[in-house]
Chains A and B, each alone.
Chain A
Amino acid sequence: ILNVEQSPQSLHVQEGDSTNFTCSFPSSNFYALHWYRWETAKSPEALFVMTLNGDEKKKGRISATLNTKEGYSYLYIKGSQPEDSATYLCAFSGSRLTFGEGTQLTVNP
């Protein structure tokens, strides 16, 4: 079983703060790195699927970068809002998708 690690496990920030999380994954047999947002009582929602080393993707205030050679990805949220509160999951796609345990973000108004 592949090891996908996310840090921190949880994070509390104030509205307006910018924040970032880390996902580390095996650097061999890489196909893609996925990021999902999972709000309470909802289904996980795909944010990004990244395939190339050096990829940077952006969706509104959320962006992500990818380094496949060293096996890490960062997710950034600029100017956090209370509606950004959710668990953010990353998943490594080798022969199958393997999920990390997630970073639980709470944005206080």
Chain B
Amino acid sequence: DGGITQSPKYLFRKEGQNVTLSCEQNLNHDAMYWYRQDPGQGLRLIYYSQIVNDFQKGDIAEGYSVSREKKESFPLTVTSAQKNPTAFYLCASNIDFNSGYTFGSGTRLTVV
């Protein structure tokens, strides 16, 4: 079955460390997205990519980086510059700009 796989499901990071969240899709979707959810807030866009080797900052890109070397993969790195990284992170993809998104199951990142 086609879908989006995010790993790991839970991730613990020490202060000052960079961590990378994985997002892989086998849906042949061109566009991929990273969102962050904090308690009491809606999903906020971190980065998005509409095509391989191209990506744009979303609303809260500071302290994050991404790459899009393959159509199937859109990893998100949470750097030590991200002041408050503890959150739930969701990856999504869609086939074109106005089609529904398919979401992964999320990664919960905790800074310890």
Contacts and interface: CB of A to CB of B under 8 A. Distances in A.
Interface of A: 1, 4, 31-32, 34, 36, 42-46, 48-49, 51, 89, 91, 93, 96-102
A20 B33 CA distance: 29
A43 B42 contact: no
Interface in B1-45: 4, 33, 35, 40-45
A42 B41 CA distance: 18
A34 B59 contact: no
Instruction: Report the interface size class on chain B.
Output: 20 to 34
Residues of A contacting B: mostly: strand
B3 to A, nearest CB: 9
A101 B98 contact: no
B59 A89 contact: no
Given A1-B59, A93-B98, A101 B40 contact: yes
